[in-house]
């Protein structure tokens, strides 16, 4: 009887732990849940992360579309944001950033030069190769 109580208590603790873990939104879900102020070295634009893997960045007059993906290597808590763009010469430009929480419910995106492809280093804009900030958009 005593063993049964311990087993039931252990199962209850595991269920609570699993349910608490499942309640939290993933970074991808948080990014998709709202519009963001996308701040580069020189500009602040609006960013919208769509569920189909498209990132729309821009102002009311001009927008740009990118492919994006949030990923994390096995056995690592560090998450990365990969943003892909096609250059005018049809080359794929891949930017990679570490994602870390910002104090204001946003994110800081730090470039990882060694994970960016050659075209990002050559063709990419300096704004996209610097630290970026995502802040919740004030509606």
Q: Report the CATH number that the domain containing residue 108 is assigned in CATH.
A: 2.40.128.570
Q: What's the total number of domains in the chain?
A: 1
What is the DSSP code string of 24-55? SPPHHHHHHTSEEEEE-SS-EEEEEE-TTSEE
Sign of the C-alpha dihedral computed for residues 44, 42, 118 and 108 taken in this order: negative
Q: Convert the pLDDT of each residue in 41-65 to its tens digit.
A: 888 999 999 999 999 999 989 999 9
Q: Is residue 9 part of a domain?
A: no
The more confidently predicted of residues 104 and 81 is 81
86 located within any domain: yes
Q: Which domain holds residue 79?
A: 25-136
DSSP state, residue 34: S
Whether the pLDDT of residue 112 is over 70: the answer is: yes
In a domain, residue 29? The reply is yes
The values of phi and psi at residue 20, to 5°, are -70, -40
The pLDDT of residue 104 is above 90: no
Q: Does residue 6 form part of some domain?
A: no
Is the per-residue pLDDT at 68 higher than 80? Answer: yes
Average pLDDT over residues 4-26: 46
Residue 18, pLDDT score: 38
The reply to whether 43 falls in a domain is yes
Query: Pairing between strand 63-71 and 44-49?
Result: unpaired
1 lies in some domain: no
pLDDT band for position 139 (cuts 50, 70, 90) = low
Judge whether residue 4 has pLDDT over 60: no
pLDDT at position 94, please? Answer: 86
Is 121 a domain residue?
yes
In a domain, 20, yes or no: no
């Amino acid at each position: 009887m005593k063993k049964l109580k311990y087993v039931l208590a252990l199962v209850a603790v595991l269920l609570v732990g699993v349910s608490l873990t499942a309640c939290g939104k993933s970074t991808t879900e948080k990014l998709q849940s709202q519009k963001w102020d996308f701040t580069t070295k020189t500009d602040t634009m609006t960013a919208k992360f769509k569920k189909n893997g498209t990132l729309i960045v821009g102002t009311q007059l001009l927008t740009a579309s990118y492919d994006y993906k949030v990923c994390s290597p096995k056995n690592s808590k560090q998450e990365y944001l990969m943003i892909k763009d096609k250059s005018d010469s049809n080359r794929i430009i891949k930017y990679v950033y570490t994602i870390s929480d910002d104090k204001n419910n946003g994110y800081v995106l730090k470039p990882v030069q060694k994970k960016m492809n050659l075209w990002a280093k050559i063709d990419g804009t300096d704004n996209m190769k610097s630290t970026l900030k995502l802040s919740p958009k004030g509606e």
